[in-house]
Structure 1
Amino acid sequence: MAAAASALGACGVSPLRRTAAVDGSVWRVHGEPLLAGAPGGPLAGLRIAVKDLFAVQGQVVGAGNAAWLAEQSRPEAASADAVQRLLDAGASVQGMARTDEFAYSLAGTNGHYGTPPNPRAPERISGGSTSGPASAVALGQADIGLGTDTGGSIRIPSSYQGLWGMRPSHGAVPVRGLVPLAPSFDTVGWICRDAATLRRTGEVLLPAAPGQPLRRVVVAPSLMAVADAPVAALLAQALRAWGGALPRPEEIAFDTAPLPGWVRAFQTRQGWEAWRAHGGWIARHWDSLNPDVKSRFQAAARYTDADLAAADRVLAEARAAITAALGDAVLLLPSASSFAPLRTEAALGGTVIEAARAKTFQLTCLAGISGRCAISMPVATGGEPPAGLCMVGPWGRDRDLLALAQAVQAQGVAHAAA
């Protein structure tokens, strides 16, 4: 934290004061507010925690790395498109919240600044890479966590902390003013405590589109079985409450045998793009990286054009298979394969977290590869840690998926966060 504070001072930004109300593992910069929203807009009164990858006027971007932050000397002249849209709609920026380094993790265990808390499961990790915004929302310190989802970085912390998280269709929300990870998969997403706020936020960020109910919902037992048994049992219980005016889920067959290969192809394309975005800087700052992120950039640096071409062939095949299986249906599946790993497990070198990441990626990659929109919804847990049920909708039907999510909460299948 001392290194982070000195870096902040070097950039001319007031260091964060640690208090009971403002946790430096959650917030890098915090204000009351940091930037006020326009008066009278549709989001007036709502507070935003902005992931520390977005440009915020008057601030520098830290990207989750203390050395990167120390080199940023010029505050941003304008806010990122997504931030500005929310400000124009009346929401206020409460602060810039923590992220895993360059968003290249799903755990939230940042060695520079610590792991943000998980209020619903204090002994467990927060999930990442939209870790700070998720924790800020779960703690009640923000109403909207503005973040990114490349491989699951909205859906996983939402699942781990019992929140609602939206990954929009790829390209639906502008990424101008965002530090990239892998532009082929990067999306601007958001996290809230309930479906209504999630939808209100989407009405500001998403392009206008004629509303049309999503009438077909499908579930693949093979994908549900990717989750650990306790998570799968909670989701099965939630699905038993699915009824009323909601479209009845149909069971479909989905071949999971190709999933490990799809994940490798996704990670190859992701790593290839991440190295091109940041490799020049990383090559001069290897020692500044946390071990898990460092290992991913080391792998990314070795990818060749031939590796990329082979991965792209697999990704094309995967997109065709996903389209053939789903068409215009909404797919229900686990948001994450497990409950959030324990903090003690995170301290053991990351083996458990890496195993959970590999398994969860088989679920989250479906939206990433296909570019489809997805929403993670918290289910009742009966004393178990939080878990999420994910809806993956057709590309471009984001607003319709948000409407369905609100209906799902009204039906009692998913719940507002406590």
Structure 2
Amino acid sequence: MDERVPGPIWRVTGDPLVSGAPDGPLARVRVAVKDLFAVAGRRIGAGNPDWLAGAPVEERNAWAVQALLDAGADIAGIAQTDELAFSLNGTNKHYGTPPNGAAPGRITGGSSNGPASAVSLGLADLGLGTDTAGSVRVPSSHCGLYGLRPTHGAVRSDGLLDLARSFDTIGWFARDPDLLERAGDVLLPPGDPDLPLSFAVADDVVELAEPETRESFETACAALGKPVRRIGSLMGGRLEEWFAAFRNVQADEAWKRHGEWIEAHPGSLGYGVTKRFALGRDLKPGELEAGLEVLEAARAVLYDAVPPGTVLLLPAATAPAPPVDLDAETMDAYRFRTLRLTCLASIAGLPAVVTPSLRVAGLPVGLCAVGGRGTDRSLLRLAATALTPSG
């Protein structure tokens, strides 16, 4: 595909676009790289043609891209993203909505929509994405994929166009847990994959999901065959306070990172993305400081609830992927409901793995397992064993 004529899945692709080392643990694995990572000789497009037009040609690969190439993987192409990664739906006004291989006619979820679409359709084996507020976890859920959001800071972010550094993580997708884990062996720091893990479920977190999703979630938990400790209230009625603080701090960081460019390119971004950046621009005096205090207290609660050795189970999204043609108001309401689920791991910087363990009306919904800081490898091993659906 010509780089000047992008499509809904790829901005540019090849056969392959970049070849990896001749051998290695990921030899001939095809990788779809989200269009936020530096690929030598290419520009970062960030889901926006105006950004692409002004972007410099990258001189070297992002650290994560180079690590995968060194391990033998091939870069199949640079895959689309929501504009500047500031969305959770996977719809882009410039390039369209990439198809969902597991749920045709429905969104993939964003902002790592292009890699998720490519993997779900079998056009790539591994998708390299980012997760700030759920952009690996939600596409994994919508597309029936395995996905990992690592511990914040666990994977080096050199060469990544960031959005909100306090929450950004590099993550990845695969159609099977073995490849997800093998990619972790390449990208994650050394760790113990065999940490004993016990399961917990917070009732007030699960209540955020829609009834059919909750029913499928409870069935999946019962099928684990292991004790699951119930926590009546994890958030103590503070979710709205936590969520507002998260949104304010994220938006502030995003505006400080990209506001100058946005003001220089009026009208370039889609309506919803523009609104989210404007939230950071328009914060009132004291709102940022108050938000930072709230998040510090929230992290203490979450660290206490999910220490190393405990895994908090929850639905990865509130429902299956919505239809592509859903009206904007209903789509936005769905996004806000799901963000209330996904913001918890983001606030605390905790690792979270998603497996395609739930079904709702014949459509995939992910089971998410959030672990203590640094337990990424244990979560990957758990995904390949106890959390993987049979049959």
Which TM-score bucket, shorter chain as reference? Answer: over 0.9
Q: Partner of 2:228 in structure 1? A: 249
Name the CA distance, whole Å, in 2 between partners of 1:321 and 1:344: 39
Say whether residues 1:385 and 2:363 are aligned partners. Answer: yes
Say whether residues 1:148 and 2:148 are aligned partners. Answer: no
Name the CA distance, whole Å, in 2 between partners of 1:155 and 1:284: 32
Q: Partner of 1:168 in structure 2? A: 150
Say whether residues 1:324 and 2:304 are aligned partners. Answer: yes
CA pair 220-141 structure 1, distance change in 2 beyond 3 A? same
Task: Single out whichever of 316-325 and 197-206 deviates more from structure 2.
Answer: 316-325
Name the CA distance, whole Å, in 2 between partners of 1:53 and 1:80: 9
Tell me by how many angstroms 1:371 deviates: 0.7
Q: Is residue 306–residue 371 contact of structure 2 (8 Å, CA) maintained in 1? A: no
Q: Partner of 1:265 in structure 2? A: 245
Tell me by how many angstroms 1:248 deviates: 2.6
Q: Is residue 224–residue 387 contact of structure 2 (8 Å, CA) maintained in 1? A: no
Name the CA distance, whole Å, in 2 between partners of 1:304 and 1:277: 18
Tell me by how many angstroms 1:354 deviates: 1.4
Q: Partner of 1:15 in structure 2? A: 4
Say whether residues 1:403 and 2:381 are aligned partners. Answer: yes
Tell me by how many angstroms 1:366 deviates: 1.1
Alignment of 1:172-183 (within 5 A): 172-183=154-165
Structure 2, unaligned stretches of length 5 or more?
none
Task: Single out whichever of 297-306 and 195-204 deviates more from structure 2.
Answer: 297-306
Name the count of aligned residue pairs: 389
For 1:115, the aligned partner's letter is T
Q: Partner of 1:286 in structure 2? A: 266
Q: Partner of 1:50 in structure 2? A: 33
Q: Is residue 286–residue 294 contact of structure 1 (8 Å, CA) maintained in 2? A: no
Name the CA distance, whole Å, in 2 between partners of 1:214 and 1:169: 18
- Give the counterpart of 1:333 among 314, 318, 331: 314
- Give the counterpart of 2:57 among 66, 72, 75: 75
Q: Is residue 341–residue 352 contact of structure 1 (8 Å, CA) maintained in 2? A: no
SS of alignment partner, residue 176 of structure 1: coil
Say whether residues 1:375 and 2:353 are aligned partners. Answer: yes
- Give the counterpart of 1:89 among 62, 65, 71: 71
Q: Is residue 213–residue 360 contact of structure 2 (8 Å, CA) maintained in 1? A: no
Q: Partner of 1:10 in structure 2? A: none
Q: Partner of 2:180 in structure 1? A: 198
Name the CA distance, whole Å, in 1 between partners of 2:361 and 2:334: 21
Q: Is residue 34–residue 93 contact of structure 1 (8 Å, CA) maintained in 2? A: yes
For 2:116, the aligned partner's letter is A
For 2:363, the aligned partner's letter is P
Q: What percent identity do the matched residue pairs reach?
A: 47
Tell me by how many angstroms 1:71 deviates: 1.4
Q: Please, what TM-score do these two structures have when normalized by structure 1?
A: 0.90
Deviations 1:311-349 (A, max 9, x none): 00100110111122233311000101121111121xx3x
Deviations 1:124-175 (A, max 9, x none): 1110000000000000000111000000000001101111110000000011
Alignment of 1:91-106 (within 5 A): 91-106=73-88
Q: Which has the higher strand share?
A: 2
Alignment of 1:279-318 (within 5 A): 279-304=259-284, 306-318=286-298
Q: Is residue 234–residue 305 contact of structure 2 (8 Å, CA) maintained in 1? A: no
Name the CA distance, whole Å, in 2 between partners of 1:208 and 1:324: 24
For 1:271, the aligned partner's letter is A
SS of alignment partner, residue 343 of structure 1: coil
- Give the counterpart of 2:21 among 17, 33, 38: 38
Alignment of 1:219-258 (within 5 A): 219-243=201-225, 247-256=226-235, 257-258=237-238
SS of alignment partner, residue 264 of structure 2: coil
Tell me by how many angstroms 1:104 deviates: 0.2
Q: Is residue 195–residue 409 contact of structure 1 (8 Å, CA) maintained in 2? A: no
SS of alignment partner, residue 256 of structure 2: helix
Task: Single out whichever of 33-42 and 318-327 deviates more from structure 2.
Answer: 318-327
Q: Is residue 379–residue 387 contact of structure 1 (8 Å, CA) maintained in 2? A: yes
Q: Is residue 194–residue 381 contact of structure 2 (8 Å, CA) maintained in 1? A: no
CA pair 248-171 structure 1, distance change in 2 beyond 3 A? same
Task: Single out whichever of 114-123 and 161-170 deviates more from structure 2.
Answer: 114-123
